[in-house]
Structure 1
Amino acid sequence: MTITREYLPEIEFEHVSMRYQTDAAEVLALEDVSVHIQKGEFVSLLGPSGCGKTTLLRIMADLIQPTSGEVKIAGETAREARLAQKYGIVFQSPVLYDWRKVKQNISLPLEMMSMNKTEKEKRIHNLLELVGLEKFKDKYPWQLSGGMQQRVAIARALAMEPEILLMDEPFSALDEFSRERLNEELLSIWSKFGNTVVFVTHSISEAIFLSDRVFVLSPHPGRLSAIVEIDLPRPRTKEIRNSPEFYQLISDIRSSFEGV
């Protein structure tokens, strides 16, 4: 039975739509979106601003409820999955507490658990090691670079050992060099942690570099316009960005936006 479960979709969206009521009019943010994401898969939600990427992620996280359609997370409702603490979330901004040191920011989710001090300290140490911040554990967020702050946010999201990591454009505010370096570090973390990752981005190259599959969304309203398989070998290194296969995938995805 356990073996069979591994082949079931972990995240299922069936005909999901989302409408917002504004002062001016009703806005259709998502229309009839159906996606299935497998356990342990790294997928990206890709599209221009206003295509509903973040809305889709917020529905997965049970932060908002869709107007219509069905959402299942490992066979449960999104609410049941949230209450079971199956999610870790990394936002566009690190959202760290300036008055708490790095290790204290990471430990925040663990403070709500009945975990003994020794076990808690061991987990925090392992997370600091995972994101390469052991030497900065006693620093405050304002003493770190933007990229380092996001690594703290990733470690905090992983503190509860979630089955699913949801990431909403976490590197968009960084310069290109820092962004590419953190892309590589994220894949290294994912390879060790083995959870399902749903990553929101508007960067085609970032989506290709990170993902097993890319879900391309069209804007106004957000619809699923293409699902692109990324058949590049893993582990991925920066050199793959210069390969003919990489450029071909960029071309394929760009062409999926034509006529949208």
Structure 2
Amino acid sequence: MNTPEIKLERVSMLYQTDSTEVLAVQDVTLDIKQGEFVSLLGPSGCGKTTLLRIMADLIQPTNGEIKVAGESARAARLAQKYGIVFQSPVLYDWRKVKQNINLPLEMIGMKKSEREDRVNALLELVGLEDFKEKYPWQLSGGMQQRVAIARALAMEPEILLMDEPFSALDEFTREHLNEELLSIWSKVGSTVVFVTHSISESIFLSDRVFVLSPHPGRLSSVVDITLPRPRTQEMRNSPEFFQLIADIRDSFEGV
């Protein structure tokens, strides 16, 4: 498409506290194509989550403009174009897995038979068919995040926004879920914006990586990830992968 799915133009965010002002994001301009998987990469406190919240219309930028499919972020939110996955799964412990996934469908009044079909399809998509009657506290952290991803996909969003969803998991689980996420993305085709502070994770997942500078967050560079798809764990040990890591590290040093 000629029109970007998401377009930010000179976006800045200034937070006012009791004693001072904090410039979290400064003059960020970027665009994201429909169906693209991109990562927002940078150190803690560089404004990655702030940018994601601006895209989601959860906060309003101090300056600049954001368009989603040519409309305002507010219009996109009201049209339910977003699915959001947070760092914590934010599941309801008293609701079973299938009931957690079902929740947004209940809220819009979808017919029970349609809800059941949608939830069953999502359970299959994230590989949790055998755990639908379990409660969140009976699942591992990685399985809880898969439930959160399924719930975010329940409304069939055009855009999936993910705020460091695997950062609390051990490295082995995290790498496994990276593969599962790419498998899910290949089937649903949503545009994905993924926040991370892991260079290797951003490379493994993304088509492009938007590198943000340390506070205040500015767009330092955009790195095209040329690794072929589907991605495999073996690629993490390839010369191309290590070169991309070096390229991104160099972009930080150039800030």
TM-score bin (small chain): over 0.9
- After the TM superposition, which residues 1-260 of structure 1 pair with which residues of structure 2 at under 5 Å, given as runs? 6-260=1-255
Question: C-alpha deviations, 1:91-130, integer Å up to 9, x for none?
Answer: 0000000000000000000002232221110100000000
The SS at the match of 1:9 is coil
The SS at the match of 1:257 is helix
The SS at the match of 1:241 is helix
**How far off its partner does 1:24 sit?**
2.4
The SS at the match of 2:94 is coil
For normalisation by structure 2, the TM-score amounts to 0.99
Give percent identity, aligned residues only. Answer: 82
CA contact (8 A) 2:41 2:197 kept: yes
**Structure 1 residues without counterparts, runs of 5 or longer:** 1-5
Question: C-alpha deviations, 1:167-222, integer Å up to 9, x for none?
Answer: 00000000000000000000000000001000000000000000000000001210
Root mean square deviation of aligned Cα: 0.7
CA contact (8 A) 1:165 1:196 kept: yes
Q: Distance in 2 between matches of 1:188 and 1:55?
A: 27
Question: C-alpha deviations, 1:141-176, integer Å up to 9, x for none?
Answer: 000000000000000000000000000000000000
Q: Distance in 2 between matches of 1:137 and 1:131?
A: 11
The SS at the match of 2:71 is coil
Task: Give 4+ residue runs of structure 1 displaced > 6 Å after superposition.
Answer: none
CA contact (8 A) 1:54 1:168 kept: yes
Give the aligned residue type for 2:180. Answer: E
Q: Distance in 2 between matches of 1:154 and 1:85?
A: 16
Q: Distance in 2 between matches of 1:7 and 1:160?
A: 26
